[in-house]
Amino acid sequence: MVSRLLTSLAAALLAAPVMAAEVNVYSYRQPELIKPLTDAFTKDTGIDVNVAFLSKGMIERLRAEGDRTPADVVLTTDVSRLAALVNAGLTQPITSDVLQQNVPAQYHDPAGHWWGLTSRARVVYASKTRVAADEITTYEDLADPKWQGRICTRSGTHPYNLALTAAMIEHHGVDAARVWAEGVKANLARRPQGNDRAQVKAIWAGECDISLGNTYYMGQMLADPEQQAWADAVRLDFPVFEMGGTHVNLSGVAMTKYAPNAESAKRFIEFLSTPAAQKIYAEVNFEYPIAPNTEADPLVKSWGSFTADGLDLMSIAKSRPAALQLMEMVDFDG
């Protein structure tokens, strides 16, 4: 009888499908930008990583899929997007000594729902020939009339600019931030348009003298033969908030609430936080690693050093709706 049961059990096991270990990622970053990371993880663990690029609609898709979602992990490029996922109830907390060790406290959710990977600064791209090296020192200075007709920027309602405006609200209050936004708008050389690189092209073409942009775009332009001339026409200046530091944001990661491969997903997220993975990610995307004792790529280091602003990133995320309302109120893009 026992022999018959064992035989039946063995047959059932042999007949059952063998599920290969995998992690499914929904990413705001294009797959080729994170492929070196996923390849390294698969080489180390044997776990395959499947990446789906979503430029928008992440929350709507996860809500629609519910507990049937194939997604285990979400990779994002802005802390407000991480906060929105958490607030929508689409993530789950991770308890991990590895993550606690590799991710400084200011760069992760206290409850463990999201974890930062690399940082970038929102800086000023300045014409090498038309802007003196010490001509701009603060974000508040962007509203000074001396810049009238000299500033280019992408939409004021883009997440990168909303995060900066939200930080301005946190530093000075809504009323002062509104006056600042009105001052910046009055100084624009043209209506907000294009992405951060398009603003640098406009500086190169003589349409404006300075623009707002994330640091990593300099690396991307230098790596593109068609855009190298734009990059060569500018330098990076690292302004600060009055009584504060340089505004930074994150690339970050979270595990979905209904992750079908939760254990593999946790291993992947832990891997992303390691100094080795941080180094890969920072080199590929020209960002600043946040893991302790991990240095930036030499090219990134050559742009200059800065002190990150001390504002809590979740506070900035909470002020994002107020920043959007403010930008619409002043008709920044109009």
Whether residue 252 is found in the same domain as residue 115: yes
Whether residue 196 is found in the same domain as residue 83: no
Q: How far is CA 233 from CA 20, 199, 236, in A?
A: 50, 12, 11
Whether residue 131 is found in the same domain as residue 218: yes
**pLDDT for the residue 14:** 37
**pLDDT for the residue 6:** 33
Range of the domain at 43: 21-119+248-295
pTM beyond 0.75 = yes
**In this structure, which amino acid lies at residue 329?**
M
Please work out, in degrees rounded to the nearest 5, the angle formed at the alpha carbon of residue 80 by the alpha carbons of 209 and 277.
90
CA torsion sign for 153, 155, 157, 159 is negative
Whether residue 197 is found in the same domain as residue 285: no
Whether residue 291 is found in the same domain as residue 233: no
Whether residue 242 is found in the same domain as residue 319: yes
**pLDDT for the residue 285:** 87
Whether residue 126 is found in the same domain as residue 220: yes
The reply to whether 90 falls in a domain is yes
**pLDDT for the residue 138:** 98
- Domain with 26 in it: what CATH number? 3.40.190.10
The reply to whether 217 falls in a domain is yes
**pLDDT for the residue 201:** 98
**pLDDT for the residue 20:** 54
**What CA–CA distance (Å, rounded) separates 283 from 301?**
11
The reply to whether 115 falls in a domain is yes
The reply to whether 13 falls in a domain is no
- Using DSSP's 3-state secondary structure scheme, residue 50 falls into strand
**pLDDT for the residue 12:** 38
Whether residue 175 is found in the same domain as residue 66: no
Whether residue 263 is found in the same domain as residue 318: no
Query: Is the CB of residue 23 less than 8 Å from the CB of residue 261?
Result: yes
Whether residue 101 is found in the same domain as residue 186: no
Whether residue 169 is found in the same domain as residue 221: yes
Whether residue 44 is found in the same domain as residue 155: no
pLDDT in 10s for each residue of the chain, 334 residues: 434 433 443 343 334 333 458 999 999 888 888 899 999 999 999 999 999 998 889 999 999 999 999 999 999 988 889 999 999 999 999 999 999 999 999 899 999 999 999 999 999 999 999 999 989 999 999 999 999 999 999 999 999 999 999 999 999 999 999 999 999 999 999 999 999 999 999 999 999 999 999 999 999 999 999 999 999 999 999 999 999 999 999 999 999 999 999 999 999 999 999 999 988 888 888 999 998 888 888 999 999 889 999 998 989 999 999 999 999 999 999 9
The reply to whether 6 falls in a domain is no
**What CA–CA distance (Å, rounded) separates 59 from 72?**
14
The reply to whether 300 falls in a domain is no
The reply to whether 167 falls in a domain is yes
Count the domains in the chain.
2
Q: Could you count the other beta carbons within 10 Å of the beta carbon of residue 218? A: 25
**pLDDT for the residue 66:** 97
The reply to whether 9 falls in a domain is no
